[in-house]
Amino acid sequence: MAVSKRKEGEVLPNKFLAILPVLTLLGLMLANYLFEWGQDPHMYVLIAACVCAFVGFLCKIPIKEMLAAGYDAVAQSLEAMFILLFVGCLVGSFEWCGTIPALVFYGLKIFTPTIFLPLVCLLCAIVGLSLGSSYTVTATLGIAFMSIGATMGINPAIIAGAVLSGACTGDKFSPLSDSTNLSAASAQTGLFDHVRAMVATTFPAFVIAFLGYCALSFTGNAGQYDPELVEGLENAISDNFAFMSPVLLLPILAIIVIAVVQIPAVPGVLLVSLIGCLFAVIFQGASFADCISMTHYGFGIETGNELADKLMNRGGMDSMLWTINMALIAIGFGGMYSRSGAVESLLGNMIKKIRTPFHMAAAIILTAMFCILTMCDQYLGLIIPAGMYKEKVDEMGLSRNLLSRCQEDGGTLFSPLVPWSSCGVYHSGMLQVSTMAYLPWCFTNILNPIISLATAAWGGNIIFADGSKTGFFGGKIKEGKVAGAPEEAHEYAMKKLAELRASGEYGNVGEKIHK
């Protein structure tokens, strides 16, 4: 989905009308916080969508077309909705068979406050890279780590931040990730060209974040080990499962194997859910009726231990309906907002003002952030900047994987930080920590766009159409590998690059970016 094209008789909204749906949404969210209404964001987004439809009406866009744009946006995200449903099945079966409780049970014997946060971040990154899904990492390791950290007195918001810093980083670097593939496809560049470009900005952000979690842990600011709490949780787990053994961790390995053999997401999650059900039958004595119940309604048990009950009473398709409801409304709103021409009205003139690679990088990153803030969906935050800027990227002699990298720098990692985005709603619900609470501790997510903007400002991490590039700190232009791009677009970009270098706008290989 690119920026909408005007039909005969339609007009672009003025700046006030373009921003009105966003102001409505933000105003209602702020009032909800200030006046402590305690309401979920669903109706606020729906009201903003109604305002958006009114803006479309004023701009001569038929209401049927506005609604169709919302439906089309939802249709593009249907696979993600089904994945959310089936992740609920996975969590329910993993709880019932004892896999998630076993992660906690044996994790309590290994983890200490001194190593907990950095290991959480690292393990979530490794598993996220293997799976290509931050959603699955949050639903498995994330739930377990939240419970383990509680026994150490660690602030749940910090744990959630470490989980997301690792999970989102692994997701970005994984060739199995839907967002990674979408970003490369929308920018029309090679998948591995895109992944290679992200190393320059995302990996430094992850390293700094990892060191930050190390500092929190090693200085003793993370938490204190509570042996009574640990013993109570261990007893509650062991007393309520017929079988507790490291064998129950094998379904986690099955997830990684399925990812490695590249089974598509929907059948892959269903297959792992089936494995969880089989383990529940074999090791916990579950019946066929229990398998239906665990995948539909999740696991329900009263242990008498508050922490254990919070850990184990999870999962099932029903548990995901709140999130899916929010996602459907938010994504539909995003489609309507794009169709209204609001993005074109607010940001269209920005393209004319882009003069330098830094301007280009900043425009892409900020547009991706703007789309997620206003359209509530990370997919739109990846698709729309590509539609807006790919011709300008070619005109400036830059590489298409610079475009795809900046889309993700401002899009994928930023999405979990927006409370009303589908991504933020999911992670917040799964980890049971509010988005605004964990936001300050998502070090990678915060640092990634900052590093991308800062390095571009001093001429670093710029990639040209011929594959040449500058280093992290700028300096001289070095030779590199040409990234994938449509043939005509690449020829045009190479021609413009030659002209810009001949005019002195850019330096040649071996020279600084500006002569």
pLDDT, residue 365, reads 95
Q: Please tell me the least confidently modeled range out of 52-61, 68-77, 463-472.
A: 68-77
In a domain, 184, yes or no: yes
In a domain, 313, yes or no: yes
pLDDT at 463 over 90: yes
Using pLDDT thresholds of 50, 70 and 90, give the confidence band for residue 29: confident
Summarize the confidence of residues 291-315 as an average pLDDT: 89
Q: Please tell me the least confidently modeled range out of 79-83, 102-106, 258-262, 472-476.
A: 258-262
pLDDT at 2 over 50: no
| Ramachandran angles phi, psi of 508, nearest 5° | -90, 175
Separation of alpha carbons 165 and 268, rounded Å: 24
In a domain, 2, yes or no: no
Using pLDDT thresholds of 50, 70 and 90, give the confidence band for residue 510: confident
In a domain, 62, yes or no: no
* Cβ atoms of residues 126 and 231 within 8 Å: no
pLDDT at 366 over 80: yes
In a domain, 396, yes or no: no
pLDDT, residue 248, reads 94
pLDDT at 487 over 50: yes
pLDDT at 440 over 90: yes
Enumerate the β-bridge partners of residue 463. 469
Summarize the confidence of residues 463-489 as an average pLDDT: 91
pLDDT, residue 5, reads 57
Instruction: Give per-residue pLDDT as tens, 98-126.
Output: 999 998 899 888 888 888 999 999 999 99
Summarize the confidence of residues 310-316 as an average pLDDT: 87
Cβ contacts of 211-220, under 8 Å, gap ≥ 24 = 212/443, 213/117, 213/118, 213/120, 213/121, 213/162, 213/165, 213/443, 214/117, 214/118, 216/117, 216/158, 217/113, 217/114, 217/115, 217/116, 217/117, 217/118, 218/114, 220/113
Instruction: Give per-residue pLDDT as tens, 198-249.
Output: 999 999 999 999 999 999 988 866 666 677 888 899 999 999 999 999 999 9
Give the percent of the chain with pLDDT over 90: 52
Other residues' Cβ atoms within 10 Å of the Cβ of residue 314: 21
Q: Which residue's structure tokens are 């300096």?
A: 475
| Ramachandran angles phi, psi of 475, nearest 5° | 75, -150
In a domain, 229, yes or no: yes
Provide the total of helices (H) and of strands (E) in the chain, helices listed first: 25, 2
Q: Between 33 and 104, where is the model more confident?
A: 104
In a domain, 278, yes or no: yes
Q: Which two tokens stand for residue 393?
A: 């990227």
Q: Which domain holds residue 206?
A: 79-320
Phi-psi region of 23 (alpha: psi -120 to 50; beta: other; left: phi over 0): alpha
Summarize the confidence of residues 37-62 as an average pLDDT: 91
pLDDT, residue 114, reads 85
Note the Cα 471 to chain centre separation in Å.
Answer: 27
pLDDT, residue 1, reads 39
Instruction: Give per-residue pLDDT as tens, 172-199.
Output: 998 778 788 888 888 888 888 999 999 9
Q: How many domains does the chain have?
A: 1
Give the percent of the chain with pLDDT over 70: 97
**Vertex 366 angle, CA 363 and 368, to 5°:** 105
- Looking at every residue in the chain, the average pLDDT score rounds to 88
In a domain, 426, yes or no: no
Round to the nearest angstrom and report the end-to-end CA distance of the chain.
Answer: 38
